[in-house]
Each structure stands twice: as C-alpha cells, then as structure tokens.
Amino acid sequence: MQVPKFGLIVVGDEILSGLRQDKHVPAVIERLGARGLSLSWVQMVGDDRDLLVDTLRRTFNSDDVVFSCGGIGGTPDDHTRQAAAQALGRPIVRHAGAVDLIAQRCAESGQPLDEYRLRMADFPSDVDLIPNPYNRIAGFSVGRHHFVPGFPVMAWPMIEWVLDQLYPQFHHVSLEYKRSLLLFKTPEARITPVMETLEREFPGCRLFSLPSVGDDKLARHIELGVKARGGPECKETVSQAFDALVKTLEQMQCPIELLQ
C-alpha cells in the first residue's frame, strides 16, 4: 500500500508577522507520528487571497493529503474558503448542514443567528463537513484537502478526526527506522562522499547529518545517521547501512560515539 505524503498549510498574517507563534507544525507532526505517519512539507501563507489561490491550485493537483489551518472564519481577513473555491473553479454555496450546526450553536449560546455567522457555512460546492467538537462550526474537506480553523483547540481534534475516520488504512503501514552516532573533530565535507556512497549501496536509505556547535556539556559535533521508511524489512537494511557507516568511519579514524 502506497502511503501518501502529508502536507500542512498554515494561514494568517499574524504568524508571519510574529504576532502569534505557530503551534500547528509540532502538533500535526505529533498526531501523524502517533499513527505511524510523517509530515512531508509545510507552507505558511499570509492573508493574501491570490497567494492562497496559487498555493491551493498547486496542491490540489497533487495526490498529497493536505491540512489547512486558518482563514475559514467570516471576517474580511478570512480568505481560505473563497481561495479554495477559486482554485477549484467552483462557486461558493451555503451548506445546509453547516447552517444547521451554526443554528444549533447559536441556540445553545443565546447568540443571534445573523448573516455574519451564517457566512461560516459558505463553502465551495460539493464539500464534506469536518465536525468541530468545540463549537460546532464545521470545517470542510475537498478530496484529500481538509480545511480547519486556526484555533488549536478546534483544529487539532478536527485533524485527529480526519486522520482516524478517513485515513485509518494508512496508520502504521510505513514506519521510520533510524540509527545514528555522534561524530567529533570531523568536518562535513570529509563525510559527504561517505554519505553519497552509502546511499548508492543501500537504496531506500537516507543518510543525514545534523551539525551542532556544542555546549558546556558536549563538544562541537555532528549527529550522523541512517534512516528509512517502510515495512519491517527496512529495519535490517538500516542496520546494515549503519554498520557500514561505522566501519568506514573507524577506518578513517574519526572519533565517534554510538547513540542508543
């Protein structure tokens, strides 16, 4: 079974200006990881409808599963619903099911059911609703694209619902296997040929290098390792590639420390 790539779009000027710190990226990584999945890419976009349209046109043409957080409210700076409709070439229509949910919310809270609230039921035509357990104001899905509010208390349970209800077949199908070590007193340029050679010898494995300037507890070093994503057979391949890496570094007389 081919597991799709998962992407995340975070929408809002407040993120790009620094007025608010993004929390969606680590939260989505955590929720995907709990299901044996991983995040392949992230894009942050301001409240710019043209840029949102361009972004969504590109991602709608992919096979990726995409979560979009933010911009689906009813204020003038919310453009995601309209941008999605434009990118798809569909009209905006008022979704009867979303209207019912907004009406229920207004009845519960004693707020008037006015036009400004009903705008949050205006979606591109032919969408499916994503239930919002916090306040009933629904998000929406179009194919493999899933649009939720920017508020974490709403967005994260809605993303979990999508993952569990729509994509359970991909949970824990493909796992990441990784082994790494610490490399000291060795520049990256010296190990680059080693990394390239091992990637050719062990197809499917990826070598990674994470340099660190060190601190008062650990000297300047590189975390160097091997990783691969797939079925159980990948674990043995990663072990073989890692053993070859260690052997090569020992032959080069590079100071190393194995990590558990």
Going by pLDDT thresholds of 50, 70 and 90, the confidence category of residue 1 is: confident
Domains 6-170 and 175-258 share a fold: no
Return the beta strands (E) in 107-220 as ranges. 122-124, 128-130, 139-142, 145-148, 175-184, 206-212
Class at the top of the CATH hierarchy for domain 6-170: alpha beta
Please, are residues 92 and 123 in contact by the beta-carbon 8 Å criterion?
yes
What mean pLDDT value characterizes the chain? 95
Going by pLDDT thresholds of 50, 70 and 90, the confidence category of residue 216 is: confident
For 111-120, what is each residue's pLDDT tens digit? Answer: 998 999 999 9
The yes-or-no verdict on residue 70 having pLDDT over 80 is yes
Residue-level pLDDT at 220: 93
Among 203, 200, 198, residue whose Cα is nearest residue 224 = 198
Instruction: Please give the average per-residue pLDDT across 224-231, as a whole number.
Output: 92
Among 150, 154, 158, 152, residue whose Cα is nearest residue 75 = 150
The yes-or-no verdict on residue 233 having pLDDT over 90 is no
Q: For the full predicted model, state whether its pTM sits above 0.85.
A: yes
Query: Locate tokens 């700076």: which residue?
Result: 77
Please, are residues 50 and 17 in contact by the beta-carbon 8 Å criterion?
no
Cα–Cα dist 53/13, whole Å: 16
Going by pLDDT thresholds of 50, 70 and 90, the confidence category of residue 175 is: confident
Which CATH code for domain 175-258? 3.30.70
Ranges of each domain in the chain: 6-170, 175-258
Instruction: Please give the average per-residue pLDDT across 155-168, as a whole number.
Output: 98
The yes-or-no verdict on residue 174 having pLDDT over 90 is no
Mode of pairing for the β-strands spanning 175-184 and 256-258: antiparallel
